[in-house]
Amino acid sequence: MANAALATYFLTKAEHAEIGRRATGHFTLVDIPRCAAEQYPRLALGQNDLALFERSHPWDHAPGALFLNEAGGRLLRRDGSEYRIGDGKKGLLGASSQRIWDEGARVLFG
């Protein structure tokens, strides 16, 4: 079962509960570092397989997006679109591979 580090603290209570419900039984939930700069190496190194982020500030995610995508992982918006700085959107899903990203998006977002 894939390890998932899901940062749900910026979600509403209802969204938090829904993500937790969907993840249960599909992923082993692991503690998050509460620092995107630490999370991206964990994904690239295979320590964590999946990471969910609600906020997508460029200072938190631009370097990590490049790092992870170049290392063979995937960071995309929840709808599968590319992360673009300044697009005003929230929500990112990072994964150690495209296959894990696809599984995570299917399970967590339907």
Percentage of the chain with pLDDT > 70? Answer: 99
Rounded CA-CA distance 1/13 in Å is 26
26-57 per-position pLDDT tens digit: 998 888 888 888 899 999 999 999 999 988 88
Question: Taking every pair of C-alpha atoms in the chain, what is the biggest distance, in angstroms?
Answer: 35
Rounded CA-CA distance 21/18 in Å is 5
pTM of the complete model: 0.90
- Which amino acid type is present at position 62? A
Instruction: Give 61 or 10, the one with higher predicted confidence.
Output: 61
Contacts of 35 (CB under 8 A, 6+ apart): none
Element (H, E) at 41: helix 36-44
